[in-house]
Amino acid sequence: MTTAHTILAVALALVFLPLGLAKIAAVPFMRQAAAHLDMSPGFYRIIGTLEVAAAAGLLLGLAAAPLGVAAAAGLAVLMGAAAVVHLRHGDPPVRALPAAVLALMAVAYAATA
């Protein structure tokens, strides 16, 4: 396990744990984001649950590499889909950029395993 691997795992977990919990709790900002993308709050809660699970998997992956790689792969797919949803919704590319960057970070994590 490399330092880069550990840093990526912790950084991704620090991003996705609070965002996922906010989606699960359906805080007003997340309800607005869901409405903007024409998603129901229930579906957004599912996305939040996946984000929290991915954050946990990345951290557990520091002890069991295959679990971390699986979590990173799922996160990369989820964030790739998020970027596509933003673009299809007509958002400017800059709105899709964070999801694309996070997808690349997840791929980098998996590559350092």
CB 108 within 8 A of CB 8: yes
Mean pLDDT of all residues in 82-101: 96
Residue type, 30: M
pLDDT of 112 reads 86
pTM: 0.93
Mean pLDDT of all residues in 8-13: 96
CB 24 within 8 A of CB 45: yes
Mean pLDDT of all residues in 79-100: 96
Res. 113: pLDDT tops 90: no
pLDDT of 76 reads 97
Q: How buried is residue 31: exposed, middle or buried, by Cβ count under 10 Å (0-12/13-18/19+)?
A: middle
Mean pLDDT of all residues in 75-104: 96
pLDDT of 39 reads 95
